[in-house]
Amino acid sequence: MPSIEGRIGDTNAAPGQFPFVVELVFTSILGITSWSCMGSIISPKTVVTNGLCTLGATQVKMYYGSTQRGVGELVQTVNSNNFKRPLLPLPLGMSMAAIMTPAVQFSSYSYIDEIKFPEGEDEPPYEGEVAIAVKMIGNILKYSSNTIVSANACLTGYNILSPVCTTPSGSCISTPGSPLTLNNQLIGVGASLNFQNCVGLQDIFVTSVRFRGWIVNVSS
C-alpha cells in the first residue's frame, strides 16, 4: 500500500494516546507478498479493520500499542481462520472485518486498551462534528482533526455504502482500516484505497455503526 505525505495539521501521536490502534501486516501464501493496514481493538479478543485488508491473506502480524511502524508493546500473529467478514452483498460485505485474537489483558500493558462502538445501530447525524482521524504516515502514527461533511456530499461519486466523509485538516488516510473517532468511540474505519478513500478534499470511512450487531455476535 502506498504511503501519502502528511499535510499541515498532522500531529505525531504520543505513546498510549490511541491505545486501541493496532498496526496490521498481512502476508499472502508462502509469504510472497505482504501489505499493511490499521486496526482498532474493540474487545480483548477482537480487532476490526477494513474487509479488503484480509482478502488473499493467510496470516496477519499485529503490533499493539504501536506509534512506529513495525514496533509494538505486544506482537501477535494469527492465521486466516481467525478472519471474519459479514455475510452481506458486495461491496458492503468487504467493507469490514473482525480478526479474532488470543485474549489481551489490558491491565498488563501501558499502551494497550479497547475503544467502544457507538450505542445503537442507527447512524447519528455526524455532519459538522470534528472527529479524530488516526493513521500511519510513513513510519509514524499521526492524527488530525477532521470535520465530517453532510451525507449527501459524502455519497456523491463514491462507490462504498454508508460512508462517513470528512474534510481533512491533515493528510489523506494513507492506510486502509485507519480509525475515525468521536467522543472516544469508533465511528468509522478507513476505506480501502481500491474504494477511493481519498478523493479531492475528502477522506472516506466505512460507518462502524452499521456493523454493530454483527460485531457483537462475532466477538461474544
**Which residue range(s) make up the domain with 85?**
21-114+214-219
Region 2-12: what's the mean pLDDT?
54
Q: Please report the pLDDT score of residue 196 as a whole number.
A: 45
Region 22-38: what's the mean pLDDT?
90
Of residues 121 and 108, more confidence is placed in: 108
Question: What's 110's domain CATH number?
Answer: 2.40.10.10
* pLDDT per position as a tens digit, 174-204: 578 999 999 999 999 987 644 444 555 567 7
* pLDDT per position as a tens digit, 47-78: 999 988 998 999 999 999 999 999 999 999 99
Residues 92 and 171 in one domain: no
CA proximity to 96, closest of 156, 140, 158, 40: 40
Would you say residue 8 lies in a domain? no
For 159, the grid coordinates are 462507490
Of residues 147 and 104, more confidence is placed in: 104
* Residues in Cβ contact with 209 at an 8 Å cutoff, skipping those fewer than 6 apart: 117, 118, 120, 121, 122, 123, 124, 187
Residues 64 and 141 in one domain: no
* 59-63, 108-112, 144-148: the lowest-pLDDT one: 144-148
